[in-house]
Amino acid sequence: MDPEEQELLGDYRYRNYSSAIEKALRNFESSSEWADLISSLGKLNKALQSNLKYSLLPRRLIISKRLSQCLHPALPSGVHLKALETYEIIFKIIGTKWLAKDLFLYSSGLFPLLANAAMSVRPVLLGLYEKYFLPLQKSLLPGLQAFVIGLLPGLEEGSEIYDRTDALLVKLSLLMGQEVFYGALWGSVLVSPSIRLPASLFVVSHINRELSGKQQKYMLGTDYELTIKSLCVSVLDSNVLVQRNTLEVILFFFPFDTALDYNENAILLRRTDLVCILSAATQTLLRRDMSLNRRLYAWLLGSDIKGGTFAPESTTSEDRAVYFFGKYSRDLLVESLAEILHQKFSESDTEEQHQAYLKPFRILISLLDKPEIGPQVVGDLFLEVIRAFYSYCKDALGSDLKLSYNQSGNVLASTIKENKNASEIVKTVNVLITSLSTDFLWDYMTKCFEDCFRKKSTQTRDRLENVSMPPTISELCTLLVFLLDVIPLELYSEVQTQYLPQMLSYMVQSLLENMEMLGLPELTHALKTCFKVLSKVQMPPSYLDIESGSGNGSPVKKENGDVTLETKSVLQEEEETPFPPLKSEDSGIGLSASSPELSQHLGMPTVTLERDDVWKKGGSIQKTLHCIQELVAKFSSKYIFGMQFQEANSESISAINLSGKEKKENGYRLSEGASKKKIVKQITVPQFKQMLSELFSVRGSPFKSKSSNLLSSDYNTDNKKEKEEDWDLEQVMLVLGPLKADCKEAFAAACHLLLDCTTFPVYLSEEEMEQLYTSLFQFPGKKRFPS
């Protein structure tokens, strides 16, 4: 109890005054209809006016409670007007001092009224505010935000009290201080969705376009973090008008060219704050509203809403909007979209979580409609898009997401069809991918695969590394296999006949050139992924038509008249090649030397439909086979036989030149006798082939020294001298112990890939066919080509 009230209780007149008021309040307890409330309010008014000597009302808590009940929105305007009459009597009695002290008692009933009051009530209420509340001035500060929330509903466009409410708010801002007032306004926006429309309208209507944002920074309040949060929730509001007004505020106060400049910007804005605002603003694209899109694109491209530009002059010949976007907006937009892709959700609302999963993909689809923005952003962010795609499907499917690396039926596709959420995610991403050029996805993944090795060897840093962490080979392989399982490849025939063969060629080449960088588990994973890509490759229909029409394909006839299809790789004879070209033999493996053709693609790959040599000699299919052959040979020499091929006439000694004691290399034991010879002869390809084929043989020891069957019959004449030499394979090979499991798995994957790759034909022109026939079948004195 207030000390002053304690003193007044000793005055019998005050006690009588209190008793009269208490008696009037008891009438409310028996009221059953709204007419009874009007009668009770009339009796209370008489009791209050029975003694105007005391400015301190007795029973004021009960009085404020009954008055608040009389202002309930469900009651008619007559009750509201009678209650406002009672409020005015009270305010006259208590004066400014006690109104300021008891503001919380009376405001609890008055402040919510304007939003629900009838048109006849609103002017009376505003009159109370103007007459009794504005004079409180700084005393209003504790209830300022609530007062602002109570006044803003009066800013209804077309309403007769709009101008009066607007003027009242302006007076209030001047009395309280503009920064303090706008701070309360942004706080209201954050906590009360119902007043966001009038609040945003008030801010937009009071922006002076002739002055800079820095000169009007008071409109952003005192707590900038609160203002930023309010802008974010406001631009995500369900009302399009709220979003539109908020975008105008953002466009005016935070232009990208000065937003992070402390000397030019209205407030000290951190980069993370601007990314947060932009992340929220980009989600307005989901509304598909032209007025919202126009404002967002104006902000990103450095122009005003009407299309006029305030971007700095470009020093290049590029379009000014493109220049502005590339210099100021692009990286921030990429970061904001990455923030949306990396969003985290609670597991409470599954449906809301699922809808949020679809947002980033739909935003990117909308951005692609703007050629100055969409393609650049998608190119920068596409790896994160694929990562999010895989992560979202993994969340939706859980343990049911199982990738398949073999040629069996697509189990994952069937699982996705049975899951509604995962199915919608896949459909949305498919729309995004089909919005791009047909070769973009596969060319992008190819470049990622090559860049992964390049960055691993050079440790280069990307400008967007803070947005997208560099992928590992294993991660890329997982993502690629996932894409092959969920993307409908049959929509475009060129994907399986042109793009995938080219991608496979670049992937295998990268593995061959960088095999030393990979551990055996990584290498195995990459080889299995290559096999998955190969399993999706299909021959072009035009070639299939040729085969079906001619029986067995290319009309290369043997001497007995049979027609055969040349499916083996054809190597061009090169003088510097240390080994002769080989054909497949009983071992099922053909090994070739490294070809100069492989070095032509060390630059950035281009997976494109313009290439027409994919299935021809020297094309992607043939190069893939060559690379796999080289990879098998390189792997075998390093991990199985523990030796390396040497150049002809090389004076260097063999890698197996150990001193005295037994050594281990790559985990395998070297024989002690291998150290006794200082110089070991170069092993030839036929001998290596024999070693490799014997490795797969079930007969006795896989290796023989001085074997009479060391060379096949094809080399009996040419290599007779080699057979006569005193060659002991035990001197140049490891004494093989049991192979490690990871080595076996990697070698099996490489061989599996090689064997399947040999099933694809390489098509020759008529001239190439004649040259092939001449080199293989013509004997002296015979015709050049059979008729």
Instruction: Write the pLDDT tens digit of every residue in 615-638.
Output: 888 888 889 999 999 998 888 888
User: Where would I find the H helices in 302-349?
Assistant: 320-324, 330-341
Q: Is residue 258 over pLDDT 70?
A: yes
Nearest-5° angle of CA 627, CA 629, CA 635?
100
- SS3 for 753? helix
pLDDT of residue 437: 87
pLDDT of residue 778: 64
Nearest to 513 by CA among 634, 621, 642: 634
Question: What is the b/e burial string over 474-508, where b = at least 16 CB atoms within 10 angstroms of the residue's CB?
Answer: bbbbbbbbbbbbbbebeeeeebbbbbbbbbbbbbb
Round to whole Å and give the CA distance between 264 and 285: 29
Residues 527-546 have pLDDT tens digits of 999 999 999 988 887 666 55
Confidence of residue 757 (pLDDT cuts 50, 70, 90): confident
Round to whole Å and give the CA distance between 242 and 232: 11
Q: Is residue 681 over pLDDT 90?
A: no
Nearest to 501 by CA among 556, 418, 439, 450: 439
Helix (H) or strand (E) segment spanning residue 668: strand 668-669
Question: What is the arithmetic mean of pLDDT over 145-161?
Answer: 93
Helix (H) or strand (E) segment spanning residue 664: strand 664-665
Count of helices and strands (H, E) across the chain: 32, 4
Nearest-5° angle of CA 419, CA 423, CA 427?
175
Confidence of residue 168 (pLDDT cuts 50, 70, 90): very high
- Cβ atoms of 361 and 385 within 8 Å: the answer is yes
By mean pLDDT, which of 73-77, 386-390, 556-560, 687-691 is the weakest?
556-560
Tokens for 686?
């036929």
Residues 8-23 have pLDDT tens digits of 777 788 889 989 999 9
By mean pLDDT, which of 85-99, 160-174, 556-570 is the weakest?
556-570
Q: Is residue 431 over pLDDT 90?
A: yes
Residue type at 408?
A: S
Round to whole Å and give the CA distance between 135 and 121: 22
Neighbours of 262 (CB within 10 A): 9
Residues 451-487 have pLDDT tens digits of 888 776 565 556 666 677 889 999 999 999 999 999 9
Nearest to 155 by CA among 245, 234, 91, 88: 245
Phi, psi of 44 (to 5 degrees): -65, -40
Q: Is residue 184 over pLDDT 70?
A: yes
* Angle of helix 374-397 versus helix 473-486 axis, rounded to 10: 80
Round to whole Å and give the CA distance between 729 and 732: 5
Round to whole Å and give the CA distance between 731 and 578: 22
Nearest to 675 by CA among 692, 690, 653: 653
Share of the chain above pLDDT 90, in %: 46
pLDDT of residue 618: 80
Question: What is the arithmetic mean of pLDDT over 60-73?
Answer: 93
Confidence of residue 287 (pLDDT cuts 50, 70, 90): very high
Residue type at 337?
A: L
Residue type at 460?
A: T
- Cβ atoms of 526 and 475 within 8 Å: the answer is no
Residues 693-741 have pLDDT tens digits of 655 543 333 333 333 343 344 444 444 444 433 433 343 334 445 667 8
Helix (H) or strand (E) segment spanning residue 6: helix 3-8
Q: Is residue 575 over pLDDT 60?
A: no
DSSP label of 653: P
Tokens for 701?
């020891």
> Roughly how many angstroms between the first and final C-alpha of the chain, as a whole number?
122
- Cβ atoms of 144 and 186 within 8 Å: the answer is no
Round to whole Å and give the CA distance between 130 and 146: 16
Share of the chain above pLDDT 70, in %: 73
Phi, psi of 303 (to 5 degrees): -130, 170
- The contacts found for 712-715 with CB under 8 angstroms, 24 or more apart, are 712/585, 712/686, 714/583, 715/686
- SS3 for 218? helix
- Cβ atoms of 511 and 527 within 8 Å: the answer is yes
Question: What is the b/e burial string over 80-96, where b = at least 16 CB atoms within 10 angstroms of the residue's CB?
Answer: bbbbbebbbbbbebbee
Round to whole Å and give the CA distance between 245 and 144: 23
Question: What is the b/e burial string over 616-645, where b = at least 16 CB atoms within 10 angstroms of the residue's CB?
Answer: bbbbbbbbbbbbbbbbbbbbbbbbbbbbeb
Q: Is residue 222 over pLDDT 80?
A: yes
- Cβ atoms of 628 and 754 within 8 Å: the answer is yes
Q: Is residue 663 over pLDDT 70?
A: no
- Cβ atoms of 243 and 237 within 8 Å: the answer is yes
Nearest-5° angle of CA 99, CA 101, CA 105?
70
pLDDT of residue 51: 83
Q: Is residue 170 over pLDDT 60?
A: yes
Nearest to 690 by CA among 678, 707, 675, 673: 707
Round to whole Å and give the CA distance between 176 and 195: 20
Round to whole Å and give the CA distance between 694 and 712: 13
* Angle of helix 500-513 versus helix 440-458 axis, rounded to 10: 10
Round to whole Å and give the CA distance between 271 and 330: 13
Nearest to 220 by CA among 150, 165, 273, 168: 273
Nearest to 535 by CA among 480, 576, 590, 585: 480
pTM of the complete model = 0.77
The mean pLDDT of the chain is: 78
- Cβ atoms of 400 and 485 within 8 Å: the answer is no
- SS3 for 665? strand
- Cβ atoms of 300 and 333 within 8 Å: the answer is yes
Q: Judging by beta carbons within 10 Å of its beta carbon (0-12, 13-18, 19+), is residue 268 exposed, middle or buried? A: exposed
- Cβ atoms of 738 and 750 within 8 Å: the answer is no
Alpha carbon separation from 8 to 2, 63, 96 (Å, rounded): 10, 18, 20
- Cβ atoms of 683 and 576 within 8 Å: the answer is no
Round to whole Å and give the CA distance between 668 and 736: 7
Confidence of residue 779 (pLDDT cuts 50, 70, 90): low
Which domains does the chain carry?
Answer: 1-176 (1.25.40), 497-641+739-779 (no CATH), 646-735 (no CATH)
pLDDT of residue 348: 59
Q: Is residue 294 over pLDDT 60?
A: yes
Nearest to 184 by CA among 169, 205, 194: 169
Residues 487-501 have pLDDT tens digits of 988 888 888 888 999
Phi, psi of 134 (to 5 degrees): -60, -35
Round to whole Å and give the CA distance between 100 and 143: 10
Name the most confidently modeled range: 48-52, 240-244, 704-708.
240-244
Tokens for 253?
């106060």
Helix (H) or strand (E) segment spanning residue 564: strand 563-564
Round to whole Å and give the CA distance between 283 and 292: 10
Taking only Cα atoms into account, the Rg of the chain, rounded to an integer number of angstroms, comes to 41
pLDDT of residue 152: 96
